Amino acid sequence: MACRAVPRAPRLRVVPVSANSSTLVACALGIEAWVLRAASPVSTGMGPERAERAMRATLRARACAPSALVFAGLGASVVTGIRPGDVVIATEVRDDRGVVAEGGPSPLEESLVAAGLTVHQGVLHSSDHVVRGAERTRLAESGVTCVDMETAAVCRAAPGVPVLSVRVVVDTPEYELVRPATVVHGIRALRALKQVGTVLATWHPN
């Protein structure tokens, strides 16, 4: 049965993130929030339902809506050639229900590269489970670059707010989570995510 596309959120739009902006930086996990602490993120919890619920509550508690939302954290690549610790900026966000948000290439890449990070831009798919094996292949064949579990839900929870998704890759088809090198790759990814937080705390677009 064909998936029914949901109404699309506003196109992804990159905006400055600084102490004086009304941009909201968010992530899913407590460890991600700790690593991203330079950008003062809020944590939504893991999984689409929890993330959507927490984001709606966060937005209701604010005096006014943020000018933009940056959702950052760890993710998994479904294509070869991307290594643990690389960054993927979403040019489109989708899940099994359809496209949630879309946009063009992000100028944030320049600032992340200047910080020493390897950056890719591509389609992000949000799943409700960890993606492995043949499912990675199917998603890659459909045009997906990276997967996570929360971004699409967060986009739905923030209608009218431009969203930018930044994922640091922790595992890939060549480097699955079940392998012994997982710990090393996880440390590498968290170090890269810390650099992302530093950039987000100070970055201004041209």
> For 116-169, how does the pLDDT look when each residue is reduced to its tens digit (9 = 90+)?
999 999 999 999 888 888 888 899 999 999 999 999 999 999 998 989 999 999
pLDDT tens-digit readout, 85-103: 999 999 999 999 999 988 7
The owner of tokens 């209701």 is 60
Q: How confident is the model at residue 68 (pLDDT cuts 50, 70, 90)?
A: confident
Give the residue, 134 or 114, on which the prediction is more confident.
114
pTM equals 0.84
Which domains can be identified in the chain, with CATH numbers?
23-202 (3.40.50.1580)
Q: What is the mean pLDDT of residues 71-95?
A: 95
Angle at the Cα of 41 from the Cα atoms of 38 and 47, rounded to 5 degrees: 135
Q: What is the mean pLDDT of residues 189-205?
A: 87
Q: What span, in angstroms and rounded, lies between the C-alpha atoms of 18 and 136?
A: 36
Q: What span, in angstroms and rounded, lies between the C-alpha atoms of 18 and 4?
A: 38
Q: How confident is the model at residue 76 (pLDDT cuts 50, 70, 90)?
A: very high
Q: What span, in angstroms and rounded, lies between the C-alpha atoms of 54 and 28?
A: 10
